[in-house]
Amino acid sequence: MIHDRDGDAAPFSADNNNPFYLFCDGVPVPIAVRRGNAEALAFRDGWEMSSTQEIRRGCLYDPASRNWVGGAEDGADAVARAFASA
């Protein structure tokens, strides 16, 4: 289940659900996407389809990797791509 920091179910909404603050099976959604978690991938697909370019850029969504980036493990190139994607 996708949930917030308090463990409450997070209703889907591209506007107010920055995936960096949501969790899936206890790990942040971007990490769950990297791990191939089916629920996280489904959330990502829905979020991707309903979000605007502005929201994507604000959440540092990288269209090449189809994931949210920002950590050191992602690298500066992925972050630059995500920021420039709008």
Give 41-79 as a DSSP string: HHHHHHHHHH--HHHHHHTTEETTTTEE--STTT-HHHH
Residue from 42, 34, 36, 25 nearest 70 by CA: 34
The whole-number pLDDT of residue 38 equals 96
Domain residue limits at 34: 2-84
Amino acid in position 43: F
Burial of 33 (C-beta count, 10 Å sphere; 0-12/13-18/19+) = buried
The whole-number pLDDT of residue 74 equals 65
The whole-number pLDDT of residue 17 equals 63
- Measured distance CA(3)–CA(8) in Å, rounded: 5
What pLDDT tens digit does each residue of the chain (86 aa) get? 787 777 777 655 555 567 878 889 888 899 899 999 999 999 999 988 888 888 888 888 888 889 998 766 666 777 777 767 65
The whole-number pLDDT of residue 77 equals 77
Give the number of domains in the chain: 1
The whole-number pLDDT of residue 35 equals 94
